[in-house]
Amino acid sequence: MYVERPPGADVADRVACEWRLVSEADTTQLVVPDACVDLIWGPEGLFVAGPDTGPMPTHLVPGDTFVGIRFKPGAAGDFFGLPLQELRDQRVRLSDLPSLHVRLSGLPSPHVRLSDLPPLHVPDAGPSRRLDALRVAVRARLAQGTSVDPASSAIAGALRNGRTVAEVAWDLGFSERQLHRRSLTSFGYAPKTLQRIVRFQRALALARAGVPLAEVAVAAGYADQAHLSHDVKRLSGVSMRHLVSPSG
């Protein structure tokens, strides 16, 4: 069972959602690129799921429980203490991010320090308590003044709307080299890769809403349905029909 809910209003500019997942079967869940970064508390403890460029299958056994906080594309900023391209396509234990450990060590409530949170299999703390603890720790970390590139939202929005990389750079007053550097730092991707991923996510949302695939291709900015199919397979490893209805 997977459940999402919106974040509090005070962090809505940075956080896309809070979520929890409890596996009810021995299964493999397919995680596909979405330009987001997640802070996750799972059976093996706390880790960061960096921005993906391809499918990330995750094996689950019954009872596996995860809670997470998902940052919006480009909104993690320097929350994790390093440029996001260093987390690309990786799952990194929080304890392996020494800069984050140091910065969190000064929080006024030591019991919610991210670096101190124990593994999820500890019996006296269920998913709700763990999500509460994550929420408090994330707010405390954000209150330290972590920065975000003010252009990140405009970059993602323009690429999602079909502007070319050169057009986005021109619109924002950057050279293409500057846009490339800022995109890597804010999203973990070069602009071309970011464009492919945000377009894919737009197409996926349309398909899940019931829009026919031929119309999805046009609306999301693909040359044709074959182009859509090729890009979906490249990013997810499966067809759009499988993503929309995995058991179909």
In degrees to the nearest 10, what's the CA dihedral of 217, 218, 221, 224?
60
Q: Count CB-CB contacts under 10 A for residue 163.
A: 17
Cα–Cα–Cα angle for 115, 54, 170, rounded to 5 degrees: 95
Q: What is the pLDDT along the chain (248 residues), one digit of tens a residue?
A: 889 999 999 999 999 999 999 998 899 889 999 999 999 988 888 889 999 999 999 899 998 999 999 999 999 988 888 889 999 999 998 878 766 654 444 444 434 455 554 444 444 567 787 888 888 888 888 887 778 999 999 999 999 888 899 999 999 999 999 999 999 999 999 999 999 999 999 999 999 999 999 999 999 989 999 999 999 999 999 999 999 987 65
- Check residue 121 and give its pLDDT: 44
- Check residue 42 and give its pLDDT: 87
Q: Which two tokens stand for residue 138?
A: 């994330």
* Residue in the structure block whose two tokens are 């809070």: 18
- Check residue 99 and give its pLDDT: 61
Q: Which two tokens stand for residue 21?
A: 């997942």
195 vs 180: CA distance, rounded Å:
12
- Check residue 248 and give its pLDDT: 58
Q: Name the pTM for this structure.
A: 0.86
- Check residue 83 and give its pLDDT: 84
- The DSSP secondary structure of the chain, one letter per residue, reads -EEEEPPPGGGTTTEEEEEEEE--SSEEEEE---S-EEEEEETTEEEEE---SS-EEEEE-TT-EEEEEEEPTT--TTTTSS-GGGGTT-EEEGGG-HHHHHHHTT-S-GGG-GGGPPPTT-TT--HHHHHHHHHHHHHHHHHTT----TTHHHHHHHHHTT--HHHHHHHHT--HHHHHHHHHHHHSS-HHHHHHHHHHHHHHHHHHTT--HHHHHHHHT-SSHHHHHHHHHHHHSS-HHHHH-TT-
